Structure 1
Amino acid sequence: MMSNSKESKSTYMREQPAGFLERVGVDYYRHLAKDAGIDKMSALTIDELPPDDTLRSIAENMTLLAAIIAFSVGALTTVVSVWIEWTFAGQLDQYTYYALYGGVVLLMLGVELLVLFWLGLKTVHGLACLTGHHRASDDPFLPGDDAVPNILARAALEVPDPVIHYLGIDPLKYISKSKLLLVGLLYKAKVILSSAAVKFVLVRMLGKGALRIGFIWVSVPITGIWDAFTLYKVTREARLRLFGNRLAHYLAKEIMTPELINKLSHKTKEGAVRAVANMVVLAQNYHPNMLVLLVKLSETLEIREDSNYDDWDEFLLLLDEVSVEEKYFLLDLLSIAAAFDGHLSRLEKHYLPEAFGELTGVYMQRIDTLKELLLTGQLHAAKALCKLDFQPG
């Protein structure tokens, strides 16, 4: 594996080690894979997977079931705390009441989060099996300890992805420290905005006295909806990571064949790494899909030394130095990489036309289509769009 070599250690660095939640999630994910008895089965290719209609239907049904369970969990745990307030408010002395109410709320919140974490991991593992990611062993496409179970555990538990520095590429190159702080605060605010916060806002701010006591029951469906929405986002992100990972395998194994690589000039090989590296930087995040694509490309093309690969101006200059066919190859790869995280940032929308030139409309449409296919689980159609054929568009 690349991460075991002396050379790769100098090019790959994960700033933050896996935290407690990620480690627990990974352990449980691997337990699910082994418990299912399919961990040792051979990996499947995209062509061996069910057709898109079947994949999409099963994935949507799994998502719907998870959302229904999440709604039920949020609603039921809220009913308990609401019943305590409905029954004992004004009946007990203040200290006894608040001790009872606070203890019940904390207990129900713990049960709710525990069940939601379990549900998220179970659903993500089910989606992984659906897409052929049934093996719990480390993914050889990812260096260090950032294997498929890690990226899925982070998606299931809504743990932020770590900052990764690879080949000297800085994914936070265009993000100011103040923006980093704001993003961090917003993420923590999202985590804090759990059902407990929803209950508090509804109970304390929307009404007083008898009106408030009656209105607190509204927190039951609202908390359920919040939890269902959270699970929906988890499964949506997990699907994106799973499908993107499969496409990265496909590009590396079936598209980037030795025959194709032998056709590429050294400049074009360098340009391929630059194309993905710049999308990582312009996207302003290090999405696992992009990391897998970048790692495998650099391995396949034997480009492993740190360099200034994320310089956009140098990439534009390189496009003018390669042949016309090789330029189309790089533009194809650039458009695929731009779609891999399921989102186009403001910087990507601004800079991509500089590379695409008169073909901007064609390539931007290709990016939008590929993003939609990835987000909706149409893996076979997405595969067909990931072509590198040295032709425009």
Structure 2
Amino acid sequence: MNERSEKLKYFLREEALSQGFSACRIARAEDMPEAANALAEGIAKGHYGEMAWMAETFERRSSPLKLWPEARSVIMLAMNYGPEDDPRPLLKRKDRANISVYARNRDYHDVIKGKLKQIAGRFAARSGADVKVFVDTAPVMEKPLAEKAGIGWQGKHTNLVSRQFGSWLFLGSIFTTEDIAPDTAERDHCGSCRACLDVCPTKAFPRPYRLDARRCISYLTIEHHGVIPLEFREAMGNRIYGCDDCLAACPWNKFAEQSSEMKLIARDDLKAPRLSQFLGFDDADFRAFFSGSPIKRIGRDRFVRNCLIAAGNSGDAALVPLCRRLIDDDSAAVRAMAVWALARLLPGKEFAALARTRLHESDETVRHEWQREEETLCI
């Protein structure tokens, strides 16, 4: 490593630590054929579901050089967001809403992008090089790049795993025209462990290191439009936004729990909120409550749809009045999931009597929900 490169790396790591990042390492901007081939396979098999942008951005996503041909180095940064406690016990509290750990505070895109811009600006001033900043939503294969940079490796659950921080890492990148000596890539340390695969409630992993997003609760609650497919509803439990099961099961998290780098502390009102407070949300309530949160981007209708699935799985009859009001909601997806919830919370005869009053329903999907549930009761 030449003296200039060494000084720039030291400068970057000091800046990263001062901004609350847990790791900062360098990868060379070059083609990544193995990662590109895995991405192409997933697209060909339809594993990305409604996320059409994965195919649309494939060319740019397949290599850092396709995104920016002048780039010579990629500065990869990671921020540990390991929770204070294991989030899985909340799954047993059926009257509560389980929100993925990463979404219990401010939108990490905003937090990290602001910090990356500061680091990139100072680096550009110091080096004279051009820079570009990317966070998650850009067509960058961040996890393969983080592996090349030595921050961690892509585990069998396809997420990045670190020997120092476990599975709880936010990632961001700075592309630069500066040629910086790359760090040593990390190797796979999963061994024979299958904890993350075996814990998945919807069996979303067709094989190790391959995720079928169409079966993933994170995808279903965040990216999927319309009604939730019947086969996944019970498995969702009380997960109303995302799913942490495969992350939380990773044995390497024991190191993350010892870290003092937690910069994003969960909002108290999102640690174990009651389902009842969300089922009554209109659009204004939703926007106000989740202002600055990543949850806001899915919109009120999808969010309440998810909460109705959780209500149906709760066994809590006290939620019936809230669910009953939602059978007249403007959103067909909300109405349909309200039907499903009521079929599980009401006595059979009471649900059948209610169904007979809903013959005027105009949406075919919602009518199907009423008919299927009523027929099920008659069997």
**Higher relative contact order, structure no. (Cα contacts within 8 Å, ≥ 6 residues apart):** 1
- TM-score, normalising length: structure 2: 0.25
- TM-score, normalising length: structure 1: 0.24
Larger Rg belongs to? 1
Which structure dedicates a bigger proportion of its chain to strand? 2
Which structure dedicates a bigger proportion of its chain to helix? 1
